[in-house]
């Protein structure tokens, strides 16, 4: 039924796009729709079979099909599908015996990228236990917060993160939490060793009925949103969502013969779901690295015959910033999957590293909509596709940047943005595209819900992202709500300002934000920049670039020179602290500059100038 319906809707949509003379993209639209229909049908099948066929069952099938095929390459060692399968059986048995784990009980993983992360998760999944993937960079209060919102009673960690756990151990013990360390020995009281128990456990397969109750709607994982603001939120990831994300590689044309490079953290959806989940779905080989390294990147790709890479946030820029080399185009990478690349970097990346198909996608861990740019349109995150939109209704609505809320009409309903106009992306919450929300955080969950959008009583998921659809149906990511600020009654998109700053001589990276100035409405532009090695801040050239390319309200009036920019674990720039710190030279040690519009250059921001600005002697 589903398949027929989809096929009919697909044909209708194709006819429409055809008749609208969108001929150039006809074939690509077709391929995409057909692939999506196939995947939709597969998901429907998995939903129906009893017991439910999860990603773990898919792994088991792959391990049966090719037990000796390499699943993971890590630090010079290979681990076959069979080996990882056996190891995960041992982990599951050891944890079941030691912690008495039962189906449905959550276990927190506090681990860096390593094979142990993969088989511990697999072991838990075989027991039907959801895993909470803690960000290994968090400490103290934030760690406790993340841990407690998923309701886990057990935490598994490794020796390298022991100090962080010891720091919060008294609180964990008070709450009756057991800590297991992936080590043979440990001299801290209150911490259990796990490796010795694993090595003694049997690697016999586990009975399937241990996870008999797992269904497509059960929680598979908790993944923490990397928010550039506030404490992380635990997004509830169901098995349905795991499948949807795992299909992305397939939609992008990745095959089981490809080799996938994971260097993004496994605690996040990009690395874990799209990367590892997708690799399991394809039955392919993963080259796993502890962390991203721009200088090692291409050598790794050559050495391990990588064919598919992943990027996020700023990582493509880091690759483009690395020094030119002779053999740059000499590699086998054919597809790059990710999100958040800017148009200029996208072009430079293709110029330097050759013909790589960039598959830019748009999605949020907790969101209920996603897009893939399946054509060859630079800069687009996807295409408005009637079939997709029929099954996963979404729209763009007019958004008031100053109030940071949607514009509403007299009846209290939102207003759809016109084509070509930037609007807030909202996805209708339906059976097929649910919004599960955040664990233990009703307040934040409610904040992402938007009611009375197009009709009284309807419910949408608020992505917090501003997008634009063009006349050819391509969609473009514009900015995060909050990353766009308002000054002199105009909206300033920080990403556009950053693109201009990067054209100035000597600037390597730029993080643009708006700061409050007493007595002024809105926020004025400011940028934290990192300079290229050995370069000074070029006051004249920077001024020339921003004045040539940006309207006066969008020009960053303050520049703060930093040795490096603070990033989230997924390479998104952190802004909140910078915004709070403002531009007072008495409180900021970094060199500060001020754009003097009369002298047409940036000048050092001194105490005197600061006071003149605050007292409004200098007009902004």
Ligand X SMILES: *[C@@H]1O[C@H](CO)[C@@H](O)[C@H](O)[C@H]1NC(C)=O
The strand pairing partners of 236, in sequence order, are 222
Following DSSP, what letter does each residue of 169-206 receive, concatenated? HHHHHHTT-EEEESSS---STTEEE-HHHHHHS--PPP
Q: Does 377 engage in binding with ligand X (CB under 6 A)?
A: yes
Indicate the residue among 73 and 574 with the shorter CB distance to ligand X. 73
| Cα(239)–Cα(104) distance, integer angstroms | 13
Indicate the residue among 377 and 555 with the shorter CB distance to ligand X. 377
Minimum distance between the CB of residue 572 and ligand X, rounded to whole angstroms?
A: 21
Residue 277: CB atoms within 10 Å: 26
Tokens of 204: 């016999």
Please, are residues 413 and 463 in contact by the beta-carbon 8 Å criterion?
A: no
Residue 121: CB atoms within 10 Å: 25
Identify which range of 157-165, 374-382, 466-474, 611-619 contacts ligand X by CB under 6 A.
Answer: 374-382
Nearest of 383, 341, 337 to residue 356 by alpha carbon? 337
Minimum distance between the CB of residue 323 and ligand X, rounded to whole angstroms?
A: 24
Minimum distance between the CB of residue 130 and ligand X, rounded to whole angstroms?
A: 13
Interacting residue with ligand X among 157, 368, 375, 463 (CB under 6 A): 375
Tokens of 304: 């391990």
Indicate the residue among 101 and 450 with the shorter CB distance to ligand X. 101
Indicate the residue among 475 and 515 with the shorter CB distance to ligand X. 475
Among positions 507-566, residues that touch ligand X (CB under 6 A) are: none
CA atoms within 13 A on the CB side of 4: 1
Indicate the residue among 66 and 145 with the shorter CB distance to ligand X. 66
Maximum Cα interatomic distance, the chain, rounded to a whole number of Å = 78
Here's the x/- map for ligand X, 208-227, by CB under 6 A: it reads as ----xx--------------
Tokens of 314: 């700023």
Q: Does 357 engage in binding with ligand X (CB under 6 A)?
A: yes
Q: Does 12 engage in binding with ligand X (CB under 6 A)?
A: no
Interacting residue with ligand X among 378, 436, 508, 620 (CB under 6 A): 378
Indicate the residue among 373 and 494 with the shorter CB distance to ligand X. 373
Cα pseudo-dihedral 390, 472, 341, 478, rounded to 10: -80
Minimum distance between the CB of residue 211 and ligand X, rounded to whole angstroms?
A: 7
Minimum distance between the CB of residue 75 and ligand X, rounded to whole angstroms?
A: 13
Following DSSP, what letter does each residue of 283-339 receive, concatenated? T-EEEE-SS--TTTHHHHHHHTT--EEEEETTHHHHHHHSPP-TTTT-S---EEEEE
Minimum distance between the CB of residue 64 and ligand X, rounded to whole angstroms?
A: 23
Q: Does 330 engage in binding with ligand X (CB under 6 A)?
A: no
Minimum distance between the CB of residue 346 and ligand X, rounded to whole angstroms?
A: 6
Here's the x/- map for ligand X, 56-95, by CB under 6 A: it reads as ----------------------------------------
Indicate the residue among 134 and 216 with the shorter CB distance to ligand X. 216
How would you class 582 by CB atoms within 10 Å of its CB: exposed for 0-12, middle for 13-18, buried for 19 or more?
middle
Q: Does 305 engage in binding with ligand X (CB under 6 A)?
A: yes
Interacting residue with ligand X among 226, 373, 445, 601 (CB under 6 A): 373
Indicate the residue among 286 and 358 with the shorter CB distance to ligand X. 358
Minimum distance between the CB of residue 32 and ligand X, rounded to whole angstroms?
A: 9
Indicate the residue among 38 and 334 with the shorter CB distance to ligand X. 334
Cα pseudo-dihedral 77, 80, 82, 84, rounded to 10: 50
Q: Does 103 engage in binding with ligand X (CB under 6 A)?
A: yes
Distances in Å between the alpha carbon of 254 and those of 63, 211, 333?
Answer: 19, 30, 11
Indicate the residue among 81 and 460 with the shorter CB distance to ligand X. 81
Please, are residues 164 and 137 in contact by the beta-carbon 8 Å criterion?
A: no
Indicate the residue among 22 and 144 with the shorter CB distance to ligand X. 22
Distances in Å between the alpha carbon of 524 and those of 404, 557, 602?
Answer: 16, 7, 16
Identify which range of 83-91, 195-203, 367-375, 419-427 contacts ligand X by CB under 6 A.
Answer: 367-375
DSSP-derived letter for residue 416 is B
Q: Does 360 engage in binding with ligand X (CB under 6 A)?
A: yes
Tokens of 528: 């934290």
Identify which range of 16-24, 144-152, 376-384, 405-413 contacts ligand X by CB under 6 A.
Answer: 376-384
# binding residues, ligand X (CB under 6 A): 17
Identify which range of 89-97, 356-364, 502-510, 606-614 contacts ligand X by CB under 6 A.
Answer: 356-364
Q: Does 34 engage in binding with ligand X (CB under 6 A)?
A: no
Indicate the residue among 303 and 449 with the shorter CB distance to ligand X. 303
566 φ, ψ (degrees, to nearest 5): -80, 130
402 φ, ψ (degrees, to nearest 5): -65, -45
Would you say how long the chain is, in residues?
A: 620
- Element holding 145 (H helix, E strand): helix 140-149
Interacting residue with ligand X among 2, 139, 304, 344 (CB under 6 A): 304
Q: Which parts of 372-518 fold into alpha helices (H)?
A: 386-391, 442-447, 494-501
Residue 518: CB atoms within 10 Å: 8
Q: SS3 for 449?
A: strand
Minimum distance between the CB of residue 134 and ligand X, rounded to whole angstroms?
A: 25
Residue burial 128-147, b: 16+ Cβ < 10 Å; e: rest: bbbbbbbbbebeeebbbbbb
Minimum distance between the CB of residue 279 and ligand X, rounded to whole angstroms?
A: 15
Pairing type for strands 191-193 and 259-262 reads: unpaired
Q: Does 374 engage in binding with ligand X (CB under 6 A)?
A: yes
Beta strands in 346-422 (DSSP E): 357-363, 370-372, 382-383, 394-397, 399-400, 405-406
Identify which range of 355-363, 525-533, 550-558, 572-580 contacts ligand X by CB under 6 A.
Answer: 355-363
Here's the x/- map for ligand X, 247-286, by CB under 6 A: it reads as ----------------------------------------
Interacting residue with ligand X among 359, 383, 486, 574 (CB under 6 A): 359
Indicate the residue among 305 and 452 with the shorter CB distance to ligand X. 305
Here's the x/- map for ligand X, 44-63, by CB under 6 A: it reads as --------------------
Under the rule (CB under 6 A), what is the footprint of ligand X? 103, 212-213, 304-305, 357-360, 372-378, 380
């Amino acid at each position: 039924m589903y398949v027929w319906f989809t096929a009919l809707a697909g044909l209708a949509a194709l006819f429409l796009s055809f008749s609208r003379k969108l001929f150039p993209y006809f074939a690509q639209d077709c391929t995409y729709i057909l692939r999506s229909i196939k995947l939709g049908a597969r998901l429907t099948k998995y939903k129906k079979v009893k017991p439910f066929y999860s990603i773990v069952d898919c792994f088991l099938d792959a391990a049966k099909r090719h037990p000796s095929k390499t699943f993971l390459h890590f630090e010079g060692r290979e681990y076959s599908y069979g080996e990882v399968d056996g190891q995960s059986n041992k982990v599951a048995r050891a944890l079941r015996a030691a912690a008495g784990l039962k189906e449905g009980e959550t276990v927190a993983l506090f681990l860096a990228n390593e094979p142990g992360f993969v088989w511990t998760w697999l072991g838990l999944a075989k027991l039907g236990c959801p895993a909470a993937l803690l960000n290994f960079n968090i400490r103290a209060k934030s760690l406790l917060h993340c841990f407690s919102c998923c309701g886990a009673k057990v935490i598994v960690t490794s020796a390298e993160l022991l100090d962080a756990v010891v720091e919060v151990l008294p609180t964990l013990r008070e709450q009756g939490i057991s800590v297991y360390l992936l080590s043979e020995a440990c001299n801290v009281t209150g911490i259990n060793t796990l490796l010795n128990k694993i090595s003694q456990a049997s690697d016999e397969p586990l009975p399937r009925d241990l996870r008999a109750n797992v269904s497509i709607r059960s929680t598979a994982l908790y993944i923490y949103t990397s928010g550039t603001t506030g404490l992380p939120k635990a997004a509830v990831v169901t098995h349905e969502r795991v499948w949807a994300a795992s299909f992305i590689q397939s939609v992008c044309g990745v095959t089981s013969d490809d080799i996938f490079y994971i260097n993004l953290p496994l605690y996040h959806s990009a690395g874990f779901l799209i990367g590892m989940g997708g690799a399991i779905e394809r039955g392919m080989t993963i080259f796993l690295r502890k962390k991203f390294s721009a200088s090692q990147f291409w050598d790794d790709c050559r050495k391990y015959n990588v064919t598919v890479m992943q990027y996020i946030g700023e990582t493509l820029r880091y690759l483009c910033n690395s020094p030119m080399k002779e053999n740059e185009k000499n590699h086998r990478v054919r597809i790059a999957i990710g999100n958040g690349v800017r148009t200029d970097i996208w072009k430079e990346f293709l110029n330097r590293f050759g013909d790589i198909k960039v598959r830019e996608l748009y999605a949020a861990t907790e969101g209920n909509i996603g897009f893939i740019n399946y054509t060859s349109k630079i800069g687009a995150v996807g295409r408005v596709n009637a079939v997709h939109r029929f099954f996963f209704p979404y729209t763009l609505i007019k958004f008031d940047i100053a109030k940071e809320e949607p514009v509403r009409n007299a009846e209290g309903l939102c207003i759809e943005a016109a084509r070509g106009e930037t609007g807030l992306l909202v996805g209708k919450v339906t059976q097929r595209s649910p919004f599960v929300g955040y664990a233990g955080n009703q307040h934040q969950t409610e904040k992402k819900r938007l009611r009375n959008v197009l009709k009284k009583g309807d419910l949408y998921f608020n992505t917090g992202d501003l997008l634009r659809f063009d006349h050819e149906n391509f969609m473009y990511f514009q900015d995060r709500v909050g990353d766009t600020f308002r000054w002199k009654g105009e909206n300033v998109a920080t990403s556009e300002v950053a693109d201009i700053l990067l054209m100035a001589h000597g600037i390597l990276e730029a993080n643009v934000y708006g700061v409050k100035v007493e007595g002024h409405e809105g926020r004025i532009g400011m940028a934290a920049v990192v300079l290229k090695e050995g370069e000074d801040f070029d006051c004249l050239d920077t001024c020339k670039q921003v004045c040539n390319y940006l309207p006066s309200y969008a020009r960053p009036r303050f520049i703060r020179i930093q040795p490096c920019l603070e990033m989230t674990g997924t390479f998104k720039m952190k802004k909140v602290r910078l915004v709070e710190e403002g531009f007072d030279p008495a409180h900021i040690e970094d060199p500060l500059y001020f754009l003097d519009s009369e002298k047409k250059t940036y000048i050092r921001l001194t105490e005197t100038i600061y006071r003149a600005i605050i007292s409004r002697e200098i007009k902004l």
